[in-house]
A and B are shown apart, each in its own frame.
Chain A
Amino acid sequence: EIVLTQSPTTMAASPGERVTITCRASSSVNYMYWYQQMSGASPKLWIYDSSKLASGVPDRFSGSVSGTSYSLTINTMEAEDAATYYCQQCCSLPYTFGAGTKLEL
């Protein structure tokens, strides 16, 4: 089973600040997927194929990869971005998720 390790577990950011969340895979994966979950709501697909924004996602978000390390970056933090973000690997059963990064304002 591929284990995804997210860091940090929690973090606080101020409006306008640049934020980076990292997800490391225990084995090589072709792509990484990111989900945003607001408090009390269902997860939403946020980034697919490592760097493509899902429909309706603001372009201050971006995704990137460096080796087996995947990142989600918010160029300038906004209040509405406070949520928990999860990464998910696509390519080896069982599909697995990271433990999440709680981003607070």
Chain B
Amino acid sequence: EVQLVESGGGLVQPGDSLKLSCAASGFTFSEYAMAWVRQSPKRGLEWVATIIYDDDSTYYRNSVKGRFTISRDNARSALYLQMDSLRSEDTATYYCTTHRTLWFGHWGQGTLVTVSS
């Protein structure tokens, strides 16, 4: 059974940094592209970033480009999202997902990030 377990969310101030982690199991992690998708009441569901199997190719939405970094450790079956210079509009529940090129197949339970002073 595919399992994706996010961690690392919390309450931070604007300008702070936070690193999210996602522990994957139940599938061959190294064979899947992975993504972060966030959800907030104001903005709905938003794709944030995708990393391809071998870590060489990454893609970001414009509003996080230069501030967020997606990475993976295939040996540990782990996905990460380093978030710097956080803004109030980054407040959301962040989901780790498998990204089958065209769709987001499996989702974790999400971790809540709140950016507020």
User: Which one of B47, B103, B104 has the highest number of Cβ atoms from chain A below 10 Å of its Cβ?
Assistant: B103
Total A-B pairs in contact (CB under 8 Å)? 47
Tell which of B61, B102, B104 touches A94, judged by Cβ atoms closer than 8 Å: B61
Query: CA separation between A48 and B100, bound complex, in Å?
Result: 11
Q: Say yes or no: B102 contacts A97, CB within 8 Å.
A: no
Q: Say yes or no: B102 contacts A33, CB within 8 Å.
A: yes
B residues less than 8 Å from A90 (CB atoms):
101-103
Number of interface residues of A (CB under 8 A): 21
Q: Per-residue CB proximity of B25-52 to A under 8 Å, as 1/0? A: 0000000000000010000111100000
Q: Say yes or no: B62 contacts A94, CB within 8 Å.
A: yes
Q: Say yes or no: A42 contacts B103, CB within 8 Å.
A: no
Q: Indicate if B109 sits at the interface (CB-CB under 8 A).
A: yes
Q: Say yes or no: B110 contacts A42, CB within 8 Å.
A: yes
B residues less than 8 Å from A48 (CB atoms):
102-103
A residues less than 8 Å from B61 (CB atoms):
94
> A residues within 8 Å of B by Cβ?
31, 33, 35, 42-45, 48-49, 86, 88, 90-91, 93-100
